[in-house]
Structure 1
Amino acid sequence: MILAGGKSSRFGSNKALALYQGRPLIAHAATVMAEIFTEKLLVTNTPEAYAFLGWPMTGDLVANAGPLAGIQAALNKIQAERAFIVACDMPRLDAAVITRICRCPGDWDVIMPELPGGGEPLHAVYHRRILPAIDAALARGEGKISRLLAALRVRTMSAAELGLADDRPVPFANINFTRDLRDLP
């Protein structure tokens, strides 16, 4: 599942459609995700902007509630018990890393990469059973994923567990500013 519902306010325009290596950022994510998963879904409130992908789409159920509303929409729509959810602005996704996250043993609510400042919630596996917690948080007006995660059983995976070498670019780095895109090798 790819989330493409953000305002891109720090970027200045729709970053999902910004070009990287001649293709929109979202196309990079969609290509990698399509190689791994049979069930695909794009969560967006502007489906006309992404028709070129040919993906099934759904919109947020709660307007202006950020990525947590996108996770809610995805989990409501999928057939599977779990979904790998990624942001549209991650052009360096790595299929092997995603597969390791998806195959992590245990009965976790959320599984995500561990970063120096915490986990990366927009490159993670979410179990459908957390929908009531998401619904309740959004009903209270709480859109922060970090607050929700504090109440769930979360498994973070280290760089070593994910097979990431120190000299390799981080596959879940996202683009927030135009300089982030410009500085990508």
Structure 2
Amino acid sequence: MPTEPAARDFALATAGVILAGGKSSRFGSNKALARHRGRPLVAHVAMVLEELFSERLLVTNTPAEYAFLGWPMTGDIVLNAGPLAGIQAALHHIAAPRAFVVACDMPRLNGEIIRRLCRCPGDWDVVLPATATGPEPLHAVYHRRILPAVQEALARGEGKLGQLLQELRVREMNAAELGLTTAADPAFTNINFREDLDRQPS
């Protein structure tokens, strides 16, 4: 596929987006605000994205909780519809043609992996890493043109991403393409339980 001109400078062609709309039911409280190395989890994510993207966005339905970040924010258009609703809100709001979308609970993000995803050649709808546990859709690049497909999926009652990804042009980048020696890289670590947070390096 030909390389899209906008992809040549990913910092201008891509917005950095954090999704912070989950219920954190397994964690027991809002995990985005849980302290790790002296900062809320979401602050670690924000620090990495701030170095990469000039346009940034936090998707949350409780903006007052995240005012300390100083980020632009927007809420879900469709409530209680999972991460798909967060992606819809992001693609609806951003000015850039693409969004790098990441979950708020990934404190060990690797900027070089993100750069490689954003610079992937080809005109793809979605670019995501192939991790040891499978494709990671909440550490991925989404083109704004898929917004109608996202809206249609939400209208069908879908909240998860699996079915939608089967309908789109998706590029999975393997460990070698991402400059990794293994697909089980710590950059893809999610914090789901308090025990997961306790296991992270201090």
Q: TM-score interval w.r.t. the shorter chain?
A: over 0.9
2:74 paired residue number: 58
Unaligned runs of 5+ in 1: none
User: Which of 80, 89, 96 is equivalent to 1:80?
Assistant: 96
Cα offsets for 1:29-70 (capped at 9, x unmatched): 000000000000000000000000000000000000011000
Unaligned runs of 5+ in 2: 1-16
Distance verdict in 2 for CA 1:81–1:21, change over 3 Å: same
Cα offsets for 1:85-132 (capped at 9, x unmatched): 000000001111100000000010000000233210000000011111
Shift of 1:166: 3.7
Q: Secondary structure at the match of 1:159?
A: coil
TM value normalised by structure 2: 0.89
In the alignment, does 2:69 pair up with 1:69?
A: no
**Distance in 1 between the 2:184 and 2:95 partners?**
34
2:133 paired residue number: 117
In the alignment, does 2:119 pair up with 1:103?
A: yes
Percent of aligned positions with the same letter in both sequences? 69
Distance verdict in 2 for CA 1:134–1:168, change over 3 Å: closer
**Distance in 2 between the 1:53 and 1:88 partners?**
12
Q: Secondary structure at the match of 2:77?
A: coil
Q: What is the count of residue pairs matched by the alignment?
A: 185
User: Which of 172, 180, 184 is equivalent to 2:196?
Assistant: 180
Letter in structure 1 aligned against 2:60? T
Distance verdict in 2 for CA 1:162–1:139, change over 3 Å: same
RMSD: 1.3
With 126-135 and 116-125 compared, the bigger mean Cα shift is at 116-125
